[in-house]
Structure 1
Amino acid sequence: MRPGPTTAQRRADVRLGLVLAAATAASTELARSFGYSLPQSPPALEQLAWALAISLPLCVRRRYPVAVLLVVSATFIALQARLVLEGTMTSICLFVALYTAGAWARDRRVATAARLVVVVAMFAWLVIGFSATPLSAMLPGTDSDQTGFLPPRAATVVYATALNVVYFAGAWMFGDAAWRDARSRAALAASNEQLRRSREENARRAVLDERVRIARELHDVVAHHVSTMGVQAGAARRVLDTSPDDARAAMAAVEASSRAAVEEMRRLLGVLRAGDAPHGPDALDGGPGPAPDLRCLPQLVAEPRGGLQVDHAEVGTPRPVPPSTSVSAYRVVQEALTNVVRHAGARRASVRLRWLSGAVEVEVVDDGRAAPSGGGGLGLVGMRERLALHGGLLDVGPRPDGGWRVRARFPLPEDA
């Protein structure tokens, strides 16, 4: 369905109606001046009134297209019956009304029915006129002798019929073509609007996804190193007076962890400041800079954690891993060890890297409390988001024999 007329189009209709009214009135008076009138023709004022009656309704032609068509058509037949012989401008008014009904009527069935009624009525009036009018009246100054292929009356009927067929068919087809064109433009505009909204929604989602990725990465970088620094600083404070050497070792661990945190923060900021920073699962995790991945697990395990002993083992034959998958697996292990230090109160933890058929699996288990305590759960949320991005599986929960387990399985591509 095409949209309704705009304010500008309605104003244009008013201007068109007034112009046609003036032109029809002038043409009617000129026809009288040319002598195109009969003794039975109405007075000049009545002819002027008929001229205004057939043209002024066109001021609202796009607002009420079917009603205007019916009014103009009835007026056209009436002024013909009243022998108002001006035919040029009145025919133009009828053409405009018929065209408008086809181009602007919102109910297509009503538009078709109204136009069909008008066309049938006009041809019926034409037939009545031919039947009731003598040849001398139709063709003044012409005798009844045949001078061409057809007799004069037959030629007149054929000519008038063909002219009216072209007239009404043209108005009908032009109106339908305008309707189809308007519908196509409206559909294109709606499609463009939907596309614009879709682009805005995609951009909004991209911004939200980027915020989530940044928050996840910041949590992984900050939480791990700050937790380690807190544990080591606490250990140094406790042994500062009794064992200065152990205190110095703990402070050295704090220094090393702070440097690592600063280095990772610089890498992260480098990704965020890059003009062509990637998006999607590889964003931040696989950006420029030495992002830690599965190859860095031995160094991660070897970091001091305030008395927590961590062992590391690798099972299976190593296979190539996409960079984003490798970084995400590393982050899962890093977050799991951070949670062990912060919440579990464990003395030992184990890190396992397993190479499976079509997947790589990392697992962190500890001998601490059976459930984590405190915290806002952002670390677990980040783990789940990473696994969801890669289509992996995350298993987090207590172990039957005590302690806590975090197991993450990342699928690998077939050619990996």
Structure 2
Amino acid sequence: MTASLDFWRRPGPTPVQRRIDVFIGLAATALALLNLALTTSSGALLMGTPPSVPEQVAWTVAIALPLCWRRRWPGTVAIFVSAAFIAAQARAAPEQQLASGILFAVIYTVGAWGRDRRQANWIRIGITAAMFAWLFINMIIYLPGADTNAPHFAQASGVMSPLVAIAINGVLLNALIFGFAYFFGQMSWTSARREHQLALQAEQLRESQAEARELAVADERLRIARELHDVVAHHVSVMGVQASAGRRVLDKDPAKARAALESVEQSARTAVDELRRMLSLLRQSGDAPGAAGGGVDRLDELLTNAREAGLTTKLGVYGDPAPLPESLSQAIYRIVQEALTNTLKHAGAATVDVRIRYLATEVEVDVTDDGRSVVASQRVGGMGLIGMRERVAAHDGVLETGPVVDGPGRRGFRVRARFPLTRVAVEA
């Protein structure tokens, strides 16, 4: 944005502004001609004997009419008007009051609308220098020959001579006129530049907001996909194992088959309940994103489901349990759930050991099974482990997954996640 502002040029006037300039130029020309008539009629001929009336009209029009194009070609108009102003004074054209205001206006316009800033500065400086040079020439020509005994000097009683006072007054008055024209023109251009900068910042803000909304939608979709995976995959895996067991013993042991089908029914109800709970919370704005599902206090339910599916499960809690934020508690729950799901689907394990360790500066969850390590590589890179990594990363934790060897002939797979408790304690 800084680079674009360094080379920024103010856009030219709009069609409406051009029409306004035409009206202003025509009105100024009409007023200048009226003032010319009033000046000549009152005899206020300050510059001496005027030229012919057609020439007076020509000089008046030459100074006022270019205002019609002042914002379209500010530099050209300013130079033309300044030259006409000096030439009209040299020819003793009587109209000077409105001409001075027009000269102020064109110098201001160069500063406010000049697209090339270097050129605009030099034009204003050049016009100001030319005007002061013309002022000093007039002083050199007219002041030495002025009659200080003239009637209009009779009341002069200051501390300096009338001619010196006239010279100083002329210099100060012109310095104020040209200084204000330069200053206000520069301020107008600066204001337009700031308006352009605000427009750029507003556009960047809108783009950032749109990008943030897109990222929020993507994150929300990812979160929903992760939650659906965690809720559905575990219970469906348990249902698949129980249904397979029921099919195998249906003829031999109807009682076991009935128990397996009851477990399938219970798992289906639990899955539906969790889905309903999660979808209900998703519809409610303002709820915590991780509010759906369980927490550390519901790990027994997961292990009960795993036991019903045929696994021998163990749950151990070590250390002094610390209060955990709901989001972290649910993250631990989901990690254990996904680890059990993978064990049921891929490992062919007989036992699974779940341990929760509350250490001095972190909490650790460790899930280890005794399944076939040959399929361990198949458990890496799936949606479940991706979801684990995302949950652990969201809490600045560390995730370790991979096969383990616990003595000769004893192999398995481990999922271990560690979460820092320092930041968690502040949140709690």
- Tell whether the structures are fold-level matches, with TM greater than 0.5: yes
1:352 corresponding residue in structure 2: 355
Q: Does the 8 Å contact 2:56/2:94 carry over to 1?
A: no
What RMSD, in angstroms, separates the aligned Cα atoms of the two structures? 3.0
For residues 207-226 of structure 1, what are the structure 2 equivalents within 5 Å? 207-226=217-236
1:394 corresponding residue in structure 2: 399
Q: Does the 8 Å contact 1:350/1:364 carry over to 2?
A: yes
Between stretches 31-40 and 172-181, larger displacement belongs to 31-40
* 2:256 aligned with 1:254: no
Q: Does the 8 Å contact 1:310/1:349 carry over to 2?
A: yes
Q: 2:25 aligns with which of 12, 17, 38?
A: 17
* 2:371 aligned with 1:362: no
* 2:100 aligned with 1:91: yes
Residues 139 and 347 of structure 1: CA distance in aligned 2, closer, same or farther (over 3 Å): farther
Between stretches 178-187 and 381-390, larger displacement belongs to 178-187
Q: Secondary structure at the match of 1:399?
A: strand
For residues 286-301 of structure 1, what are the structure 2 equivalents within 5 Å? 286=291, 291-301=293-303
2:340 corresponding residue in structure 1: 337
Superposed CA deviations along residues 362-403 of structure 1, whole A, max 9, x for unmatched, are 122223233253898211111111111111111122224533
Q: 1:175 aligns with which of 185, 190, 196?
A: 185
* 2:275 aligned with 1:268: no
Q: 2:386 aligns with which of 381, 390, 411?
A: 381
* 2:417 aligned with 1:408: yes
Pairwise CA distance, 1:10: 4.0
Cα distance in 1 between the residues matched to 2:337 and 2:378:
18
Name the aligned partner's letter for residue 421 of structure 2. Answer: L
> What percent identity do the matched residue pairs reach?
47
Pairwise CA distance, 1:178: 2.6
Q: Does the 8 Å contact 1:98/1:172 carry over to 2?
A: yes
Residues 148 and 96 of structure 1: CA distance in aligned 2, closer, same or farther (over 3 Å): same
Cα distance in 2 between the residues matched to 1:9 and 1:74:
25
Cα distance in 1 between the residues matched to 2:148 and 2:44:
14
Residues 316 and 30 of structure 1: CA distance in aligned 2, closer, same or farther (over 3 Å): same
Between stretches 401-410 and 331-340, larger displacement belongs to 401-410
Superposed CA deviations along residues 106-149 of structure 1, whole A, max 9, x for unmatched, are 45444333222221211110111122236888999747767432
Name the aligned partner's letter for residue 391 of structure 2. Answer: R
Pairwise CA distance, 1:232: 1.5
Residues 141 and 403 of structure 1: CA distance in aligned 2, closer, same or farther (over 3 Å): same
Q: Secondary structure at the match of 2:252?
A: coil
Pairwise CA distance, 1:271: 1.0
Between stretches 351-360 and 31-40, larger displacement belongs to 31-40
Cα distance in 2 between the residues matched to 1:65 and 1:411:
67
Normalised to the residue count of structure 1, the TM-score between the two structures is 0.86
Between stretches 227-236 and 90-99, larger displacement belongs to 227-236
Superposed CA deviations along residues 175-224 of structure 1, whole A, max 9, x for unmatched, are 23333433444444444443343333333322222222122111111111
* 2:71 aligned with 1:68: no
Q: 1:4 aligns with which of 4, 7, 11?
A: 11
Cα distance in 1 between the residues matched to 2:148 and 2:29:
30
Cα distance in 1 between the residues matched to 2:58 and 2:235:
94
Name the aligned partner's letter for residue 303 of structure 2. Answer: V
Where does structure 1 lack aligned partners over 5 or more consecutive residues?
Answer: none
Normalised to the residue count of structure 2, the TM-score between the two structures is 0.84
Residues 6 and 70 of structure 1: CA distance in aligned 2, closer, same or farther (over 3 Å): closer
Q: Does the 8 Å contact 1:292/1:330 carry over to 2?
A: yes
Cα distance in 1 between the residues matched to 2:275 and 2:265:
15
Q: Does the 8 Å contact 2:48/2:92 carry over to 1?
A: no
Give the aligned length.
Answer: 408
Q: 2:305 aligns with which of 303, 306, 309?
A: 303
1:198 corresponding residue in structure 2: 208
Cα distance in 2 between the residues matched to 1:142 and 1:157:
19
Residues 153 and 43 of structure 1: CA distance in aligned 2, closer, same or farther (over 3 Å): same
2:327 corresponding residue in structure 1: 324
Cα distance in 2 between the residues matched to 1:326 and 1:82:
95
Between stretches 331-340 and 127-136, larger displacement belongs to 127-136
For residues 88-237 of structure 1, what are the structure 2 equivalents within 5 Å? 88-133=97-142, 142=151, 147-149=156-158, 150-237=160-247
Cα distance in 1 between the residues matched to 2:189 and 2:149:
43
Q: Secondary structure at the match of 2:422?
A: coil
Pairwise CA distance, 1:265: 1.3
